[in-house]
Amino acid sequence: MPESQPDLDYAVCSWWIRRWEKVDPESGRRRFYTAELRQDLWGDWLFIKAWGRIGQKPSRVVIVSVSNPGEALELVDGVAKVRRQRHYEEKPC
């Protein structure tokens, strides 16, 4: 008899992504930074940060497990503050 599958509770309506971009006036390099909240296959919450040059794959990706969407909102507030200090502009996704 096959094992019964657990009911996964996905809250897709709580997933989000934010993106920042900047152009370095001296070198002309175009950079991006994204922060994303989503769930993995088991329903666990992940806060994912990625950054690099626009037009290329991210040069760095950091995945942090969070207990709930509220915790990720606190993390993204800190990310947004640092992005503003470094002259990034938030862009719609």
pLDDT digits over 34-70, tens only? 999 999 998 899 999 999 999 999 999 999 999 999 9
Asked if pLDDT for residue 13 goes beyond 90, the answer is no
pLDDT score for 11:
84
Q: What is the pLDDT of residues 20-41, one digit of tens each?
A: 999 988 888 999 999 999 999 9
Mind spelling out the 3-state secondary structure of the chain? CCCCCCCCCCCHHHCEEEEEEEECCCCCCEEEEEEEEEECCCCCEEEEEEEEECCCCCCEEEEEEECCHHHHHHHHHHHHHHHHHCCCEEECC
The pLDDT, as a whole number, for residue 62 is 98
